[in-house]
DNA sequence: AGCATATGTCAGTGTTGTTGACATTCCAAG
DNA sequence: CTTGGAATGTCAACAACACTGACATATGCT
């Protein structure tokens, strides 16, 4: 493997030298951490009749109230048919409200109802608690590094979407 | 919300103060980054008749050759029925070999065949390439922070499993 | 001998994703 | 004002991957 070769000593590249082993550890860290990341909301959702897809939809509708279906589609990276199934149950159950667009009446703008906000709170409280504990354990500089690496790992369009959400923050 | 309150000025807590907004950004970063993290192997797997579950199995068998089914079960966090379906196809297709244990004949020890190693290489090359690019962009200190936060986010048992894999590294 | 462990298997179910096809509504350009 | 395309919704079929529950087999340990 090309990446298995050691760099010349004293080269600047040494600072950036990444062995396959280091990269593998990064990969495994992502895998195990993501399991932890989703574990708490998953436990809550198991009791209700909802799954992870509902959680994601509710999260982003809360984050960007009034978002269109198409926008949500891009954020979530699924097909409209897949999202529609989830949205339909959320609307039927009174967690999400879908309002026809004023300017463009083809578009539907999505909002959480009181009930929807309550579920979002419950789920994100659990997820934030773990994130807070991890951030606290690791310290502020580690958190900054964590964010830098994750941003660099995203696809281009998702990096933009992520930045846009940050700016639109309430 | 309790966590929405600002800490007293000049308190040590300031260094660790984490707003809901910061935590939400961390959550979204995890979500978008994980999408990127799995995107490249997923594209490769789509052409073959395999899925993400096969990738995970092949990864850990490569990582810990001779591992037992039970050990793999714990690493992956799935039921034996679910893992068995994946392992069966991998064994039938000649990517994985299952050897009866010498000491304990109830156990099966799992190994990648040449073919299995080839697939593992192909998949992990793609995944490592992205990880390498992200690590390079973010820099060494960021990588250290990234790892610290992810470790802190794992469940206890997974943190141990992760450490054990690091130590057993070839 | 009897219980526990490790594994494999069968059957049924649920969530989430996919494709493909088709209808509706509406904006905008010619 | 007609037509083309965009945004959305819906139906049907299907696949991957997870789950539970039940049962079988072989083995190890006491």
Residue nearest to nucleotide D7 (CA to C1'): A106
Residues in A 9-48 whose C-beta is less than 7 A from nucleic strand C are none
Fold of B24-167: Arc Repressor Mutant, subunit A (1.10.10)
Structure tokens belonging to residue B33: 């980054």
Residue B169 banded pLDDT, cuts 50, 70, 90: low
More confident residue, A123 or B14: A123
Beta strand residue intervals within chain B, DSSP E = 67-68, 96-100, 108-112
- Residue A110 C-alpha, separation from nearest chain B C-alpha, in angstroms: 19
Phi, psi angle pair for B68, to nearest 5° = -85, 165
What is the per-residue pLDDT for A89?
92
Cβ contact B23–A128 (<8 Å) = yes
What is the per-residue pLDDT for B16?
60
What is the per-residue pLDDT for A21?
93
What is the per-residue pLDDT for A102?
81
**Pick from B118, B142, B148: nearest CA to B58:** B118
Write down the domain spans for chain B.
24-167
Q: DSSP class of residue B12? A: G
Cβ contact B29–A162 (<8 Å) = yes
Cα distance between residue B105 and residue A69, in whole Å: 56
Cα distance between residue A143 and residue B48, in whole Å: 38
Whether the pLDDT of residue B4 is over 70: the answer is no
Residue to mutate among A154, A162, A168, A169, with most B CBs inside 10 A, is: A154
Closest chain B residue to A159, measured at CA: B32
| Cβ proximity of B145 and A138 under 8 Å | yes
- Residue A99 C-alpha, separation from nearest chain B C-alpha, in angstroms: 25
Residues B122-136, mean pLDDT to the nearest whole number: 95
List per-residue pLDDT tens for chain A, 170 residues long.
Answer: 444 444 444 444 445 678 999 999 999 999 999 999 999 999 999 888 899 999 999 999 999 999 999 999 999 999 999 999 999 999 999 999 999 888 788 889 999 999 999 999 999 999 999 999 999 999 999 999 999 999 999 999 999 999 999 887 65
Which CATH class, in words, describes the domain spanning A39-138? mainly alpha
What is the per-residue pLDDT for B167?
83
Number of H-type helices and E-type strands within chain A: 7, 3
Whether the pLDDT of residue B30 is over 50: the answer is yes
Question: Is the ipTM value over 0.85, yes or no?
Answer: yes
What is the per-residue pLDDT for B46?
87
Residue nearest to nucleotide C10 (CA to C1'): B81
Which residues does strand D reach (CB under 7 angstroms)? A 68-70, 73, 80-81, 84, 87-88, 98, 104, 106-108; B 49-54, 77-79, 81-82, 86, 101, 103-106
- First and final CA of chain A: distance in angstroms? 48
In this complex, the residue of B27, B33, B134 whose CB is nearest that of residue A131 is: B27
A52 CB less than 7 Å from any atom of strand C: yes
The Å distance, CA of B98 to C1' of C5, is 19
Residue to mutate among A3, A16, A24, with most B CBs inside 10 A, is: A24
* Positions in chain C where some atom is under 7 Å from a protein CB: 5-12, 15-21, 25-27
Cβ contact B145–A138 (<8 Å) = yes
Beta strand residue intervals within chain A, DSSP E = 67-68, 96-100, 108-112
What is the per-residue pLDDT for A5?
47
Least confident of A55-59, A100-104, B122-126, B135-139: A100-104
* Positions in chain D where some atom is under 7 Å from a protein CB: 6-13, 16-22, 26-29
CA dihedral A151, A152, A157, A159 (to 10 degrees): 20
Residue B144 banded pLDDT, cuts 50, 70, 90: very high
What is the per-residue pLDDT for A48?
87
| Cβ proximity of B21 and A118 under 8 Å | no
What is the per-residue pLDDT for A128?
95
| Cβ proximity of B145 and A144 under 8 Å | yes
Find the farthest-apart pair of alpha carbons in chain B and give their distance in angstroms, rounded.
64
- Residue B46 C-alpha, separation from nearest chain A C-alpha, in angstroms: 16
Residue B9 banded pLDDT, cuts 50, 70, 90: very low
């Amino acid at each position: 493997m090309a990446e298995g070769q050691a760099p010349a000593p004293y080269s600047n590249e040494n600072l950036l030298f990444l062995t396959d082993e280091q990269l593998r550890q990064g990969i495994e860290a992502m895998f195990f951490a993501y399991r932890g990341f989703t574990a708490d909301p998953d436990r809550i959702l198991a009791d209700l009749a909802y799954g992870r897809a509902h959680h994601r939809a509710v999260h982003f509708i809360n984050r960007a109230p009034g978002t269109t279906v198409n926008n949500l589609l891009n954020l979530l990276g699924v097909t409209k048919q897949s999202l529609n199934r989830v949205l339909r149950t959320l609307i039927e159950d009174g967690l999400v409200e879908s309002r026809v667009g004023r300017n463009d009446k083809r578009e539907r703008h999505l909002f959480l109802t009181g009930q929807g906000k309550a579920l979002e709170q419950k789920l994100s409280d659990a997820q934030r608690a773990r994130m807070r504990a991890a951030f606290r354990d690791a310290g502020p500089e580690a958190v900054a590094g964590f964010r830098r690496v994750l941003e660099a790992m995203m696809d281009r369009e998702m990096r933009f979407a992520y930045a846009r959400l940050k700016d639109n923050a309430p």
